[in-house]
Chains A and B, each alone.
Chain A
Amino acid sequence: MRSEVSFRWLGLSAAFVITLIFAGVLTSLIAGSMPALKAFGFGFIFDETWRPTRERFGALGPIYGTLVTSLIAILIAVPVGIGIAVFLTEFCPRTLRRPIGIAIELLAGIPSIIYGIWGLFVFAPWFQLHIQEPVISAVGNIPVLETLFGGTPFGIGIFTAGLILSIMILPFIAAVTRDVLQTVPAVLKEASYGLGATSWEVMGRVSLPYCVSGMVGGAMLALGRALGETMAVTFVIGNAHRIEPSLFAPGTSISATIANEFAEATSPLYTAALIEMGLVLFAITFVVLAGAQFMLRRLETAKGHK
């Protein structure tokens, strides 16, 4: 009986360590950002100025970069990820299903820093020459597009970062979509095939609508990853604390700013401003990840009832 009690306590204290880590992250972020919170207040997140030499810090530029790169990533990765899941569950020959599935999952296994070095040395120069230059000259005089995709082709920039992020989060969306597609009751699909529906009609009108909440959860989980992704973005975003209308322009993100400047932050206020940005990032990802959990928990309950 004694070993039963001690084993239970062991498990309980491990669970307690997990909560302690979370509490530690939160308190260290709040305590560390106190000087900046006192100096700038709420204006911090609406101010674009970033002048370390004059002790003036505003996080709007990095916040903008984080949100826009993640948005680009989601806009690309959601349709493609769903496409991959549909291909693997419906059309892929059975023998190829496993190898292709593993290959897509390996994309999630490649470390962030590898995406970074590849993005900087291989992808950005290629993108600059073969995509950016033609696009910039093509949109030359078209309003709106000219603002969004105009400027100088640098190779690196907000759009490049968003595109690389989209590759990194693809496997998450594909995996969750595959899982939820498997929860669709076979009778529903069989019934509509029996009425003469094509694969496209079954998928678009039966399977996908059935899976909406799971897919939204998967997309939010992927969004949470994209928001906090650091090294890949640091290499290719350009590290400019400016907000430019063009998506091809260099910018910066919260995580890239912390990674680049933390070691060289000399004054206490500089460090505090960087930690406060970490706090902002943590708050944003917390909301997104909590939402994802809410959507996916519902899915698990649905699976349980099946």
Chain B
Amino acid sequence: MKKLTASRGQVLYLRRRLANFAFILLSLAAALFGLIWLGFILYALVKNGITALSPRLFSQDTAPPGSPGGLANAIYGSFVMSMLAVLAGAPIGLLGGTYLAEYSRTSRSAHALSFVVRFINDILLSAPSIVTGLFIYEFVVVPMGHFSGLAGALSLMVIVIPVVARTTENMLLLVPDGLREAAAALGAPRNFIVKTITWKAAKAGIITGILLAVARISGETAPLLFTALNNQFMSLNIARPAASLPVVIFQYALSPYQDWHDLAWAGAFLVTATVLTLSIIARILDKKRT
């Protein structure tokens, strides 16, 4: 009788050990699942992208199928639109995030306002970019009467602002209140405290946020489809339609021509290399801070 209960206990123990082992294996499998996809995608990008890389990509404009062409106008268009978007969007996001972090506690009305703005900002942060692009289409493209690089840059700016505002607020909230209180006790006004102390303390984090915003918009395609559209030629005038790497990748990949497919892969390789480099730099900066 005694022996029986002992073995029953052993069976139970064994079963619990087995369940635990299965659990560890499953969680390991989940991690491998994620890593395998990353490997699968990067491998395909390198394999198809490297072979299609050539100096021609950077020196020649897009061309009709069959004739040799590059991606110069698309690279230039992407660069200009992203730069404009960041130059216009980052200061707005920075100031907005600063207001949320530094001024929401100054009065009851500021607190209520910050609550609403924070909510709206977080919705915009994750809202589909194809929908926010429609907003620029209605307010810029329709009144102008045609697609333009300017509209493209504005549609990217709409994506930059919430990203920068959110990271700025998060980073400023990490700055200990003791710093603010010490400066205030010396008689420094709030704007002086923000500009000379909290911004400085949160600098690395804020730059990280801006870099992440650049990474996010360099691969952004959907809103450009109905704001900047595309342009077969190099266009220095931002009031004209502009080419961009993601839109060219989209059109070329869905075309039936093999040489266009190769260019699409080369473009995809360039975009991914840019985005991943930016995110890794952002992570390194972020690590230094913490």
Contacts and interface: CB of A to CB of B under 8 A. Distances in A.
Interface stretch (B2-10, B95-103, B202-210): B95-103
A121 to B, nearest CB: 7
A167 B37 contact: yes
A188 interface: no
Contact of A114 (B35, B93, B139, B271): B271
Nearest to A265: B226
Contacts of B74: none
Interface string B100-140: 10110000000001101101111110111111101101110
B138 A115 contact: no
A75 interface: no
Interface in A272-306: 275, 278, 281-282, 285-286, 289-290, 292-293
B128 A282 contact: yes
Interface string B273-290: 001100110010000000
A262 B226 contact: yes
Contact of B38 (A107, A198, A281): A107
B191 A113 contact: no
Interface string A189-220: 00000000011110110000000000000000
A58 B233 CA distance: 37
Contacts of A41: none
A107 B28 CA distance: 17
Contacts of B28: 87, 91
B127 A228 contact: yes
A199 B28 CA distance: 14
B225 A262 contact: yes
Interface in B214-229: 215, 218-222, 225-226, 229
B288 to A, nearest CB: 14
A281 B128 contact: yes
A24 B135 contact: yes
Q: Which one of A3, A25, A81, A115 has the greatest number of beta carbons of chain B within 10 Å? A: A25
Contacts of B119: 290, 293
A84 B124 contact: no
A28 interface: yes
Nearest to B102: A11
A236 B176 CA distance: 48
A21 to B, nearest CB: 6
Contact of A117 (B19, B114, B121, B249): B249
A199 B20 contact: yes
Nearest to B28: A87
Contact of B132 (A25, A80, A103, A263): A25
Contacts of B128: 227-230, 255, 281-282, 285
Contacts, number: 271
Contacts of B219: 110-114
Contact of A15 (B29, B100, B137, B280): B100
Given A29-B134, A199-B23, A111 B220 contact: yes
Contacts of A19: 116-117, 120
Interface in B126-170: 126-132, 134-135, 137-139, 158, 161-162, 165
Contacts of A145: none
B103 A230 contact: no
B271 to A, nearest CB: 6
Interface residues of A, number: 90
B41 A31 contact: no
Contact of B191 (A4, A110, A120, A229): A4
Q: Which one of B194, B225, B264 has the greatest number of beta carbons of chain A within 10 Å? A: B225
Given A8-B191, A289-B127, A109 B276 contact: yes
A131 interface: no
Nearest to B91: A14
A123 B48 CA distance: 14
B231 to A, nearest CB: 13
A171 B130 CA distance: 22
A14 B195 CA distance: 16
B41 A110 contact: yes
A219 B143 CA distance: 39
A281 B271 CA distance: 28
A285 B189 contact: no
Interface string A255-272: 100110011000000000
Contacts of A228: 126-131
Contacts of B22: 200
**7 closest residue pairs by CB, A with B:** A111-B219, A228-B128, A83-B30, A11-B99, A28-B138, A14-B95, A7-B191
